[in-house]
Amino acid sequence: MGADGASVLVVDDEEAVADAYALRLAEWYDTEVAYSGEEALAIAPAFDVIVLDRRMPDMSGDEVLDELRARDSRCRVIVVTAVDPVVDIIGLGFDDYLCKPVDSETLHSAIEQQLRASACDEAVRSLLALVATLDLLESKLSQLELEREQAYLDACERRDQQEAALAARVDDLPELVEAVESIDRA
């Protein structure tokens, strides 16, 4: 079990793959498996992080993710898949995207990053997910390919706007701290 009692749900229709990931993660987290999207959705609210395969019969990982986000689920979702990313991943709503095969250290590190992110407010979480998506695309596709994709360009613009908005909040931080301190003194 993880030191903080964090819980992880591994979702993959290949039972051997799901069980192998769960076995590796059990050293650090309370870990369970689901072998279908429907099964995952039934128990997803109980978990901090979901490790989700993208290609599954009956209900794809994309559909599971859509449903989780429609339910306003606050769990962090890491897509772990053999599907190489293309620009269509922008807007899927995942928090991180790893390409199989994934070793234990990489998966553990990704989960830890998502657990830290879960403590942040929505604006920060949204920016972190967008930056992870853009970084992934930039590592897999050429700059020329990316510059031809309007969805990528729009996502870069959203990232820049979100960064600016967060920077403005940071700039206001000294005033906020002073205001809180003055309340504490009153």
With a cut of 80, say whether residue 148 has pLDDT above it.
Answer: yes
The edge-to-edge listing of strands for the beta sheet with 30-34 is 30-34, 7-11, 49-52, 76-81, 96-99
**pLDDT band at 183, cuts 50/70/90?**
low
DSSP per-residue string spanning 17-44: HHHHHHHHHTTTSEEEEESSHHHHHHHG
Tell me the Cα Rg of the chain: 18
For 77-133, the pLDDT digits (tens) are: 999 999 888 999 998 989 999 999 999 999 999 999 999 988 888 888 888 899 999
Can you name the residues that pair with 22 across neighbouring β-strands? Answer: none
Q: For the whole model, what pTM was predicted?
A: 0.85
Q: Which domains does the chain have, with CATH numbers?
A: 7-185 (3.40.50.2300)
With a cut of 80, say whether residue 182 has pLDDT above it: no
pLDDT tens digits, one per residue of 68-93: 999 988 899 999 999 888 999 998 98
Q: CA 28, CA 120: separation in Å to the nearest integer?
A: 22
Rounded to the nearest 5 degrees, what angle is found at the Cα of 130, between the Cα atoms of 24 and 162?
140
